[in-house]
Structure 1
Amino acid sequence: MKLGADGIFVELAGEAFELRPSLRASMRLVRRHGLTSLLAAVQGFSITIILDVLKEAAIKPSLLLAEIAALGLGTVRNRLTGPLAEFVLAVAGIDPDDATPSEPAPGKPVDPERAFAQLFGIATGALGWTPEAAWNATPAEIIAAYNGQTAHLIRTGVLVEQKPDQSADHYTPERLQQIEELGHDPAFDRNGLATLKGKL
């Protein structure tokens, strides 16, 4: 999802609710259903999976059932399929408004769950965010913040060479669960961050 893009909203019971592709929602939905199945479920209007999407977006699933009972499945499907598909594309990191054709990446396809774990590692490690802040941010926000920090450090001469971040590779689902329970990442070098901030 493009940084600063308009929110994705669905209307239920006469009220607009935002479908925010936060890192937490993205990780949980991809873990349970997979990206391909999520998109297929939206296009086929699978009530079970759509209820799960709404729950992850902090929208009461019962609102969808009440809307279907009041207006009929066809009407609700026609109204919600577009925003739900846009949400799943945002989870996948695809901007439907971007007309630039994407070049296929060399090597193996990226595992979305692993990519989300790496973004969590970047947010809580390199950026020093709390786990809660990382989970609530969208992948686009984390990437933009990291790129901005890296560009700033290069400009100020603190960082001379930009190297790919390999430190997030050890963020397994079990490790993420432990970090969430602790409320911080014990592997993160906070003294190093304090030293770095002192140089700025």
Structure 2
Amino acid sequence: MTPLARLEEVTVRHGGHVVTLRPTLRAAMTLERLYNGWSGFLLHFDQFHLNTVQTLIRASAVSHVAAEALLSSLEGKPLKQIKATLEGPCVALLSRFLNPTGDDEGQGAETPKKTGKALSWSDAYAELYQIGTGWLGWTPQETWAATPTEITEAFKGKLAMLKAIHGSAEEDPAPQANDYTPERLKEIEELGHDPAFDRNKLHGLKARLNA
């Protein structure tokens, strides 16, 4: 397990049950759509709707079996006890979904920014999926299981590698994230250069992901 993965994971404990939660891309897309956006989800969570809390845990749990065992152990318990057990870890997990960089200027439930204008969360997640399966050459399963932060950091590494190998050509058009399939990257390596590489535009793309 990488240090980054450990930082993003949250642990829930109750009795002898231990459940590890991860803010994966699949979970992010699932939860964001549940109530037509993160604002709607947070409203339900703030009111501690039990179904909402259970959905959050099920969507984010590394082990489905462990999650179901934990939730079963809480069935019939007073709501106050359930809240005391689950609220803290769930709040920590939501902070990782909504502010994965951990800085003081996280987006919260508001839409992320795309070069100065609003970008919907669903569009941002779709772009990360394209980067994972296109630029990085990961399988769909690997991309869904990664967190947005892991995808972004791996993407930065790929850009740094391309820059180190091929340099930059500012007069050329910028590549699109989904242009860089594994086949395309192999072709670039064989050619020894990438005529579509544009340093300035790539800085803009990285800024969109870090916004």
Answer yes or no: same fold by TM over 0.5.
yes
How far 1:66 sits from its partner (Å)? 3.1
How far 1:120 sits from its partner (Å)? 0.2
TM-score (norm 2): 0.70
Deviation track 1:90-145 (CA, whole Å, cap 9, x = no partner) reads 222345x53x3459957443211110000000111111111111101000000000
Aligned equivalent of 1:15, options 9, 14, 17: 17
Q: Distance in 2 between matches of 1:28 and 1:137?
A: 14
Gaps of 5+ in 1: 169-186
Q: Distance in 2 between matches of 1:90 and 1:30?
A: 13
Q: Secondary structure at the match of 1:88?
A: helix
Q: Distance in 1 between matches of 2:81 and 2:146?
A: 32
Q: Secondary structure at the match of 1:11?
A: strand
Task: After TM superposition, list the pairs within 5 Å mapping 1:19-168 onto structure 2.
Answer: 19-33=21-35, 34-58=37-61, 59=64, 60-61=67-68, 63-70=70-77, 72-94=78-100, 98=103, 100-101=104-105, 105=113, 107-157=116-166, 159-161=168-170, 166-167=176-177
Q: Secondary structure at the match of 2:76?
A: helix
Aligned-partner residue type, residue 85 of structure 1: V
The percentage of counterpart residues that share the same residue type is 28
TM-score (norm 1): 0.74
Q: Secondary structure at the match of 2:9?
A: coil
| Pairwise CA RMSD | 3.1
Higher normalized contact order (CA 8 Å, seq sep 6+, divided by chain length)? 1
Distance change >3 Å, CA 90–CA 101, structure 1 → 2: closer
Gaps of 5+ in 2: 194-211
